[in-house]
Structure 1
Amino acid sequence: MALLARILANIRGIILVTPWVLYLAVCDVLLSFLLPVKIFAPNFVYRASSRIAYSVWKWIQVIFENFNGARITFSGDRLPMKESAVVISNHVTWADFYMIQALAVRAGMLGQCRWFAKIQLRWVPFLGWGLWAMGMPMVSRNWMRDQRELQRVFGGIVGRRWPIWLISFSEATRFTPKKYEESKIWCKENDRPQPLHLLYPRTKGFITTVRQLRKAPHVKAVYDFTIAYQKKASFHIAPDMWETLKLSDLGGSQGYRFHIHARRFPLEELPHTDEELAKWLEQRWVEKGEWLDTLKTEWDKS
């Protein structure tokens, strides 16, 4: 019976996802064709790519929430409609994208989400070219080496006032128990506070982003998102990518909980020196860890 259930779940996932994958391929081709147009009509390409992105991300969001029954709960600050912002978040799993997109839908910014992506994706035919055409920052995580790429992205946001959620996972990698132990060792050796349930954040990318986007008058805030999961009694356990696409009733019989907590900080209120910005980010992560620990206690009791 268990084997049959797995087979049926996989078939269900294929049926749900195949039309979306075919549509994604068409969109990647369209975005690739827009890439040369970007040279002489960058504003047009940004608007067109945002509409295409909205349709792709909305479709996959519908699969996750509506067809597969993921019940996302929310807390924290109410986000203004259509406000451009720098977005920072912890990173647990593939499902993090759904969580952030759920908030973007509610704020009217789904099509304007832009994520820091690995530079290697640039050379993937159509997919990588499409991401580049959309204005995704393609980075190597070496911030000195990435200066030219970042100037390309920041130039459009600042100079052309493109509406945007510029999103980064400040830990730069997904949370795992092994990485958590490594983070604790690093924090002890470097006299840094180790956040609960999180990896210590990397600060250089955040500092560079804030420093540049202060120049963009339409970018009003930093949004700090804290993502939490639970499967039955196990905290910080989330479905993997294929499970989010194939399993029905994720928030019911599968026993998953999905929650995202939002905090909004006006950009003008952030400190100005690199050292102070690093401390600011560090303090946010300490607070996020405390918040996660409180949520874990609440979930354990319910």
Structure 2
Amino acid sequence: MGLLGLLKTQFLCHLVICYVFLLSGLIVNLVQICTLPLWCINKQLARKLNCRLAYCVSSQMVAVLEWWSGTECTLYTDPESYLYYGKENAIVILNHNFEIDFLCGWTFCERFGVLGSSKVLAKKELAYVPIIGWMWYFLEIVFCKRKWEDDRRTVTQSLKRLQDYPENFWFLLYCEGTRFTEKKHKISMEVAEKKGLPKLKYHLLPRTKGFCVTVQNLRGKVTAVYDSTLNFRNNQTPTLLGLLNGKKYHADIRIPLDTIPENESECAAWLHKLYQEKDVFQEQYSETGRFPGPIVSPPRRLWPLINWLFWVCLLLCPLCLLVLQLFHSGSAVTVVTSAVLCLAASVGVRWMIAQTEIKKGSSYGNKEIPLNNND
């Protein structure tokens, strides 16, 4: 490990990253709250402003992935489809196997210029997570309770509100409903057997109801579906903590473009067939170390790094002056208090990171669900 690699593992560096992310995120949240009166005057302007504010937060995490960790992301896709990426609204179906799969999705959103406006169907609990969850509220992210009787109406209303959204966006969708684990996979395949569906090796059975409602309510606004299949080379198991320590990963992602039928039952059948194809792609990847098709990867952009360095300079300078004054004052109580606050900031970010860990994932999918509720 070189000097730079050793530096990235140091607690002080982690503390600086945590401090900048937390304080800048809270500043952005505060500014977003100040945009509330604007929604009544000019909703579209408020939406555009919140897209830029959200970019200030989410692009910092992309910068950690791309510039701090140095993780490489390779895209396998059709060159003809590549021309449309970032220029149209799309639903992006992602597999949910890794702790940082959402961040890899954000990386490609950033490279195609739709990071600030990207959407997701997220569990309701995330709305209460500071910074990211609060930011998502102003981005009109669609939250659900994972109880279809409660979700159908609220999800439909949230999706319909996006019909007049002024920015191009990607709607990121995890159709499996929860992150892959061996226990959840075993239960999911038992359900597949009872329903007469082909078994999957690398994925859980997709939940079709939420997908079909999303397609129905975004039809006309969204022009295509991108099937995104993510994997990491050399059987890597990437984590957010690993990124924070500067560990480099290599992500491969395959995104072909497709369209879907309008009929709900045909739409559900289309989704099941898609996941069977995704399973084949994962099998090919495990055997060959690559996805089929050409590589057409967009280069990483400087904007996440520039945004990150801006916040570092803006927030680190006053912090350094404050620390110097504290030590110059010689007050032991003040110094200890400052150290405790810094430690609390670090613990706060580590708690947020822990929410992405597979072992601490939701219990959703850990017990068998009645067949009529499993779609």
Offset from partner CA, 1:75-111 (integer Å, 9 cap, x none): 0232513211111111122311221122212322111
Residue in 1 that maps onto 2:209: 204
Q: Is 1:184 aligned with 2:192?
A: no
Q: CA deviation at 1:149?
A: 2.8
Unaligned runs of 5+ in 1: 252-256
Indicate how the Cα distance of structure 1 residues 290 and 6 shifts in structure 2: closer, same or farther if over 3 A, else same: farther
Residue in 2 that maps onto 1:194: 199
AA in 2 matched with 1:62: A
Conserved in 2, the CA contact under 8 Å of 1:29 and 1:130? no
Residue in 2 that maps onto 1:277: 267
Range 175-184 or range 198-207, more displaced = 175-184
Q: TM-score, normalised by structure 2?
A: 0.69
AA in 2 matched with 1:220: T
Residue in 1 that maps onto 2:280: 290
Q: Is 1:263 aligned with 2:256?
A: yes
AA in 2 matched with 1:265: D
Residue in 1 that maps onto 2:56: 55
Residue in 1 that maps onto 2:67: 66
Q: CA deviation at 1:160?
A: 4.5
Q: CA deviation at 1:64?
A: 0.9
Conserved in 2, the CA contact under 8 Å of 1:114 and 1:164? yes
CA distance in 1, matches of 2:237, 2:129: 28
Percent identity, please. Answer: 26
CA distance in 2, matches of 1:71, 1:126: 26
CA distance in 2, matches of 1:9, 1:182: 41
Q: How does 1:96-111 map to 2 (within 5 A)?
A: 96-111=101-116
Q: CA deviation at 1:133?
A: 1.4
Conserved in 1, the CA contact under 8 Å of 2:29 and 2:131? yes
- Aligned equivalent of 1:227, options 230, 241, 250: 230
Offset from partner CA, 1:245-267 (integer Å, 9 cap, x none): 2234x13xxxxx3111101114x
CA distance in 2, matches of 1:95, 1:155: 29
Q: CA deviation at 1:227?
A: 0.9
Equivalent residue pairs, number: 282
CA distance in 1, matches of 2:121, 2:202: 23
Q: Is 1:245 aligned with 2:244?
A: yes
Residue 73 of structure 1: SS of its match in structure 2? strand
Offset from partner CA, 1:103-143 (integer Å, 9 cap, x none): 21232211111112222344456654432111111111223
Indicate how the Cα distance of structure 1 residues 66 and 192 shifts in structure 2: closer, same or farther if over 3 A, else same: same
CA distance in 1, matches of 2:69, 2:61: 11
Indicate how the Cα distance of structure 1 residues 69 and 124 shifts in structure 2: closer, same or farther if over 3 A, else same: closer
Residue in 1 that maps onto 2:30: 29
CA distance in 2, matches of 1:120, 1:96: 19
Conserved in 2, the CA contact under 8 Å of 1:34 and 1:133? no
Offset from partner CA, 1:173-217 (integer Å, 9 cap, x none): 11112222222222112211122211111111110011111142x
Residue in 2 that maps onto 1:155: 160
Residue in 2 that maps onto 1:119: 124
Residue in 2 that maps onto 1:254: none
CA distance in 2, matches of 1:122, 1:276: 33
Indicate how the Cα distance of structure 1 residues 199 and 142 shifts in structure 2: closer, same or farther if over 3 A, else same: same
Conserved in 2, the CA contact under 8 Å of 1:43 and 1:160? yes
More strand by share: 1
CA distance in 2, matches of 1:283, 1:52: 38
CA distance in 2, matches of 1:129, 1:33: 13
AA in 2 matched with 1:222: V
Structure showing greater radius of gyration is 2
AA in 1 matched with 2:226: Y
Residue in 2 that maps onto 1:44: 45
Give RMSD over aligned pairs. Answer: 2.5
Residue 138 of structure 2: SS of its match in structure 1? helix
CA distance in 2, matches of 1:127, 1:60: 11
Residue 141 of structure 1: SS of its match in structure 2? coil
Q: CA deviation at 1:47?
A: 0.4
Range 103-112 or range 200-209, more displaced = 103-112
